[in-house]
Amino acid sequence: MCIIFINCLYKIEFIKVAGFQRKLSLENIGRNFKAVCYLAGSGHRAKQIIRDFQPDLAIGTGGYVAGPVIRMAAKMGIPAVIHEQNAYPGVTNKLLAKKVDHVMLTVKEALDYFEKDVAYTVTGLPVRSELLKKSKMQARKELGFDHHFCILSFGGSLGAGCINETMAEVLKWHVSEKLEINHIHGYGGMGKDSFPAKMQEYGIPMKSKRLRITEYINDMDTCMAAADLVVCRSGANALAELQALGKPSILIPSPIVAGNHQYHNAMVLGKAGAGIVIEQKDMTSQRMIAEIKKLYQDQAKLQDMAKKAHSLAIPDTEQRIWHVIEKLIKS
């Protein structure tokens, strides 16, 4: 049996493969032709990789790169499993589900898009252990914040124009009204010029006893622990962290992702009463301010959302994943 630990060196192999472009254009026709050519040779390369490595188990986590390798592993009789992170599965995983021995899901809602007889386990998604180590009080002390309402907002490392534009107005609102609100905002690479300029225009400091506005958030464990409310996109990892920490959220799903999967992710929390979902097309600064104002004034509602978010968390994700792996290897 071959077991590879994360802190050990491991070999990386490469395979030429490309995704298909769904939007019809001359440029995309050329890209799709190249993708077909890559696909034609991917099976041979996948077989070569598998023969050289001789794995006991093959695990795919989605994406077109996983397609030919996991498909070939299953064809060669090697136990194969996939993990679907999102509530709306990607094309690759939907196709592979028919070939592999087992499907692991982050949320049960994804099962609606697979064939009914698929063997599955809801495992959740692993969350970094460091995110769970700090208390709210400890985190706020590190940030220099007091015990009052704390907002954490971000749009990812690149940032999101929609979130930046909205948060600029939110900051203007609560700073001008001198509300007891602490606010951390990460504007990302996309806003590195425009957001500081907007803050200067509004006369808002980038850092004060209640504010920390920065391009990147490098201490997300501290910022997440300190927050009473999180405003962000709806990637699978971010939502798993919100659930693990029991954080109420206002979610603005990205509309430019495959299958609109972020919307489906967000609605898992929205339907459970753990988050407020606002589609980008419906987003206005007035709407965001109104939602935040309601939660700022209603601590009972905020606490209820926190409990519902935490109830969605799966605390034994690692054990569930290992149970699936162990069972397949033994069989």
- Residue-wise pLDDT for 92-125, tens only, equals 999 999 999 999 999 999 999 999 899 999 999 9
Residues in the chain with pLDDT values less than 50: 1-6
Q: Are 79 and 328 in contact (CB under 8 A)?
A: yes
Contacting residues for 26 by C-beta, under 8 A, at least 6 apart: none
CA distance 185 to 198: 13
pLDDT at 63: 82
pLDDT at 159: 80
The domain made up of 129-311 is a member of CATH 1.10.630.10: no
pTM for this predicted structure? 0.90
pLDDT at 32: 63
Q: In the chain, where does the domain assigned CATH 3.40.50.2000 lie?
A: 26-124+315-330, 129-311
- Count of CB atoms situated within 10 Å of the CB of 171: 22
Q: Could you tell me the two tokens for 115? A: 């064939």
Predicted confidence (pLDDT) per residue in 279-331, tens digit: 999 999 999 999 999 999 999 999 999 999 999 999 999 999 999 999 999 88
Q: Could you tell me the two tokens for 107? A: 């949320």
Contacting residues for 265 by C-beta, under 8 A, at least 6 apart: 86, 87, 88, 107, 234, 235, 236, 239, 253
Contacting residues for 240 by C-beta, under 8 A, at least 6 apart: 106, 124, 125, 126, 127, 313
Tell me phi and psi for residue 246, to 5 degrees.
65, 50
The domain made up of 26-124+315-330 is a member of CATH 3.40.50.2000: yes
> How big, in percent rounded to 5, are the helix, strand and coil portions of the chain?
50, 10, 40
End-to-end CA separation in angstroms for the chain:
13
CA distance 309 to 268: 10
Instruction: Say if strands 58-60 and 275-277 run parallel, antiparallel, or are unpaired.
Output: unpaired
